[in-house]
Amino acid sequence: MIKIVKRDQPSRAIFFFTPVLAIFLTLVAGGLIFFILGFKPFEALKFFFIVPIADKYGFSELLLKATPLCLIAIGLSFCFKSNNWNIGAEGQLTFGAIVSGGVALLFYEQEGFYILPIVILAGAIGGMLYASIPAILKTYFNTNEILVSLMLVYVSKLILDYLVVGPWSNPEGFNFPETRQFSDSAKLPLLFEGLRIHAGIFLALAAVVISWFVFYKTYLGFQMKVSGFSLKTAKYAGYKGKKMIILVFLISGACAGLAGVGEITGPIGQLHREISPDYGFTAIIVAFLGRLHPVGIIFASLVVAITYLGAETAQIFMQIPKYTGQVFQGMILFFLLASDYLLFFKIKFIGLKK
Amino acid sequence: MHKIFIRSFVSSLVLLFTLTVAAIAKDVKAAFVYIGPTGDHGWTYQHDVGRKAVEAAGFKTTYVEGVPESADAERVLRQLANSGHDIIFTTSFGYMNPTNKVAKEFPNVKFEHATGYKREHANVSTYAARFYEGRTILGTIAGTMTKSNVIGYVASFPIPEVIRGINSFTLAAQKVNPNIKTKIVWAFTWYDPGKEAEAAKALIDQGADVIAQHTDSTAIVQMAEKAGVYAFGQASDMDKFAPKAVLTSVENNWGPYYVDRVKAVANGTWNQKDTWHGIGDGMVVISDLDSQMPADLRSKVKKLQADLASGKVHSFTGPIYDQKGNLMVAEGKTADDGMLAGMMTYVKGVEGDIPK
């Protein structure tokens, strides 16, 4: 007989085991879906998860794809750990890209070592500014940050539309909605000849290290953790809640803004309407799959990045619809949330007496 | 011995020749990169109809749908070029820079970019259709069928392609009905059924009884059907989605061009080109005319279609004035391709300003 028993305390081992379980279940369910669609499940999974990263180029593309996801997810983990539900990283990414792209366009046709740092800084500031809106509204006017941050995503995209269609559009570009190409001084250097992986990956790695330090070695990290468990306790302990809310939003916005910088000064090299395939939203999955832990987020960003690459490869070689990539992302989150049940409950097998 | 040698030599030559011919004819592989899903019944759907024509002509094809114009486009293109495709069609404007970038790395692969203007390498061609010719037909129908003299137009983005369509449509409508006004709603999307339906509703609420569209979904014709006004299908024949509302559709017919270009690769005659084909070359096709249209209008449209095809009629024939009354094209002259390519001013009779 099977009996479900509530745990006295959430299990720590299960806490880190469920993401692995979720990925495993996603693979099984994915294989099943492929089978139902009439594809050979193992071959499909091979084209989905192995073929795209089997060579040096593929692996570099994986890192390129994982970089913005990791960076944003690290930023989001500051918010999520402290009970602040910033859903608008996509907007912060977009606004960061707008500010940094604007600066890069100012330096159009100029060369100089000082340009890139200014462009990067501008992106971080842009992201912070944009994230400060839901933060300030939450702290001083008690608004719901989920709604405000989400709605601001659409606002940021409209601002970008307006700029690339109108005032910032390339004067030699026949009025198509895109800006000039940035000068080389405003672009992140490539790490290897012939590959697209760029110096932005160091920003992501730095974010990982800094976040680990803040989470586990500082008073701020402790405060965030306490606020995450119980806001009342935090208040009772005398933490300055408002200050912390604004701080975590600023950190999160800066990370998302930097991810935007990485895209436009990296592989894209200009501003146009579509600078991100919704990295800001996908990074939410990454943050939770990585259990809001810096190292976990690295692995999670790689796993989610591969669903993008795999979907392309599977369509090219096996004619599997590309949108299965999104199905996989959805399944990972679903199975993760579902298996979190095991965190709080355990399943006991009780032998029947004969 | 000698004879046998010659015979086997000749026969092996013949064999080699047939094998080579077979290899050339069969082994050319074409790839297509789509911005949307193949089931959008608009832009991407029609490109996929073109791809199927290439398959029917005996070539292998591959496609990737829903490729965003972000950094991802470049990777998809490189992967296609790397996996044995000889010609790659990139079917959205936003693929322009990635197409040229990847073309540089793969000089032996041919690239065909739709609706762009950059041909930075010898292996990049561009192609587009003169959709504005189709809009001359639609304008003629709209100007005749409207009772409120207000015609609605759902536009996507303020780029020359779209402005040209609005102008061509309005000029034709004015010709048959000088009192009409064209009201524009900018949806700022190519494909978003929700937004498109809202835009159509806003126009209908403002009194428009004919709705034209330069976005890709079927939401607008369906909204028109519900509201009991007329509409036109975009990119594909949308009659089945709104049989009462749709008077006709302007279809994008890419098949002949695609087959032509893939065959050119097979024959080794592919060369760099900038193609801009209209009704005459069959790249723009007018669907069946609805029987709700009076018979004399239908025969008038048929004649106009033939005249546009033969070049006897040009969509932009002077005198054409802009909104302020300045002369754009003098009497008896027609707008040249350069002017059409960069057209960013409304003609007289269009309401509102171009968003800047």
Question: Count of CB contacts below 8 A, A vs B?
Answer: 84
**pLDDT at residue B9, as a whole number:** 55
Residue positions counted in chain A = 354
Report how far apart, in Å, the C-alpha atoms of B215 and of each of B116, B234, B353 are: 18, 7, 19
Q: Which H/E stretch holds residue B202?
A: helix B193-205
How many angstroms separate the CA atoms of B228 and B241, rounded? Answer: 14
**pLDDT at residue B22, as a whole number:** 46
Band of residue B26 on the pLDDT scale cut at 50, 70, 90: low
In this model, does residue B319 exceed pLDDT 70?
yes
**pLDDT at residue A110, as a whole number:** 86
A162 contacts in chain B (CB < 8 Å): 355
Search chain B and give the residue with CA nearest A315: B64
In this model, does residue A338 exceed pLDDT 90?
no
B211 close to B139: Cβ distance less than 8 angstroms: no
pTM: 0.86
**pLDDT at residue B16, as a whole number:** 52
What the block records as the tokens of B309 is 């095809």
Nearest CA-CA distance, residue B329 and chain A, Å:
20
Closest CA to B90 of B63, B109, B112, B108: B112
Q: pLDDT for B37-82, tens place per residue?
A: 898 888 999 999 999 999 999 999 999 999 999 899 999 999 999 9
Nearest CA-CA distance, residue A78 and chain B, Å:
27
Band of residue B341 on the pLDDT scale cut at 50, 70, 90: confident
Nearest CA-CA distance, residue A53 and chain B, Å:
12
A161 contacts in chain B (CB < 8 Å): 188
Round the average pLDDT of chain A to a whole number and report it: 91
Report how far apart, in Å, the C-alpha atoms of B224 and of each of A136, A330, B241 are: 44, 35, 11
**pLDDT at residue B3, as a whole number:** 56
Provide the 3-class DSSP secondary structure of residue B134.
helix
Provide the 3-class DSSP secondary structure of residue B213.
strand
A132 touches chain B (CB under 8 A): no
Residue type (1 letter), A296? G
**Residue tagged 């909605």 (tokens):** A177
Report how far apart, in Å, the C-alpha atoms of B248 and of each of A203, B4, B308 are: 55, 68, 17
Round the average pLDDT of chain B to a whole number and report it: 91
In terms of CATH architecture, what is A2-349?
Orthogonal Bundle (1.10)
Q: With an 8 Å Cβ cutoff, are A175 and B66 in contact?
A: no
Q: Which H/E stretch holds residue B21?
A: helix B2-27
For strands B246-252 and B230-235, give the pairing: parallel
A319 touches chain B (CB under 8 A): yes
What the block records as the tokens of A138 is 């939450």
**pLDDT at residue A349, as a whole number:** 79
How many angstroms separate the CA atoms of B51 and B45, rounded? Answer: 10
Q: What would the DSSP string read from start to end of A147-169?
A: HHHHHHHHHHHHHHHHHHHTTTS
Report how far apart, in Å, the C-alpha atoms of A244 and of each of A145, A211, A219, A235 are: 14, 15, 12, 12
Q: With an 8 Å Cβ cutoff, are A272 and B93 in contact?
A: no
Greatest alpha-carbon pair distance for chain A in Å reads 86
Search chain A and give the residue with CA nearest B105: A194
Residues paired with A344 in a beta bridge = none
B163 close to B131: Cβ distance less than 8 angstroms: no
B160 contacts in chain A (CB < 8 Å): 174-175
Please state the rounded mean pLDDT for residues B129-148: 96
ipTM of the shown complex: 0.83
Segments of chain B assigned E as strands: 29-33, 60-64, 87-90, 110-114, 124-129, 150-155, 181-186, 210-213, 230-235, 246-252, 274-277, 284-286, 320-321, 327-329
How many angstroms separate the CA atoms of B304 and A295, rounded? Answer: 68
How many angstroms separate the CA atoms of B355 and B166, rounded? Answer: 14
Please state the rounded mean pLDDT for residues B286-295: 94
Q: pLDDT for A275-286, tens place per residue?
A: 999 999 999 999
Residue type (1 letter), B346? Y
**pLDDT at residue B1, as a whole number:** 47
Give backbone dihedrals phi and psi of B156, rounded to 5 degrees, phi first.
-95, -80
**pLDDT at residue B114, as a whole number:** 95
How many angstroms separate the CA atoms of A141 and A149, rounded? Answer: 14
Which residues are CB-contacts of A192 (< 8 A; sequence separation ≥ 6)? A60
Closest CA to A51 of A311, A347, A325: A311
Break chain A into its structural domains and give their ranges: 2-349
For strands B210-213 and B181-186, give the pairing: unpaired
Find the range with the poorest average confidence among B274-278, B293-297, B347-351: B347-351
**pLDDT at residue B23, as a whole number:** 47
Q: What is the DSSP code (8-state) at residue A267?
A: I
Residue type (1 letter), B262? V
Please state the rounded mean pLDDT for residues A225-251: 86
Which of B69, B78, B355 is facing A272, going by the closest CB pair? Answer: B69
**pLDDT at residue A234, as a whole number:** 83
Find the range with the poorest average confidence among A98-112, A225-239, A246-260: A225-239
Closest CA to B341 of B197, B122, B208, B159: B159
Residue positions counted in chain B = 356
Nearest CA-CA distance, residue A309 and chain B, Å:
9
**Residue tagged 């409207």 (tokens):** B146
**pLDDT at residue A118, as a whole number:** 97
**pLDDT at residue B21, as a whole number:** 47
Q: pLDDT for A41-89, tens place per residue?
A: 999 999 999 999 999 999 999 999 999 999 999 999 999 999 999 999 9
How many angstroms separate the CA atoms of A200 and A177, rounded? Answer: 26
